[in-house]
Amino acid sequence: MLQRIQTIFLAMVVIGMGIFLAFPIWSKVALAGGQSAELTALKLHHQINEVQSNVQPLYYLVGLAILVAGIAAYSILQFKNRVLQSALCAVNSILLTVLMGLVIYFTFYKTAKLFDAELPGKYDIGFYGLVGAMLANVFANRFIRKDERAVQQSKRFR
């Protein structure tokens, strides 16, 4: 049924991916103020003095985020087939882990070493949308499995 708690958590996954796509993920400004870097789902933007700018597109982050949101939305509609719904949540967990790994890779290994290596930068709201989506996916999968166990228990009592 659509009014189950896992539907809310799966909708939160879709919302979290929307936040991930819409807002910056990570940013860093040099202590001297001449350089800045910003990571969004679309691009890695490194600006040197207001004149030079280096933009690296990151379309695979967008593709993964859209895929995760699509799988979560499709999983909402599979409320009658809890086994498939649980499998889709497991696939989403893998994709979200890959997405988190890519974000961590870009923040620690690509952008953090561009300038001021001792200055770490800060995570923005897009990163927290990703973390929220990961947590919501875990809780959705937990409640789907709980529902499936309850149905199996009720079948045994018949």
pLDDT for 130: 96
Q: How would you write the chain as a 3-class SS string?
A: CCCCHHHHHHHHHHHHHHHHHHCCCEEEECCCCCEEEEECCCEEEEEECCCEEEEEECHHHHHHHHHHHHHHHHHHHCCCCHHHHHHHHHHHHHHHHHHHHHHHHHHHHHHCCCCCCCCCCEECHHHHHHHHHHHHHHHHHHHHHHHHHHHHHHHHHC
How do residues 72-83 score in pLDDT, each as one tens digit? Answer: 999 999 888 889
Arithmetic mean of pLDDT over the chain: 88
Q: Is the model's pLDDT at 141 over the cut of 80?
A: yes
Mean pLDDT of 96-116: 85
Stronger pLDDT, 148 or 124, i.e. the higher one: 124
Residue 56: pLDDT band (50, 70, 90) is confident
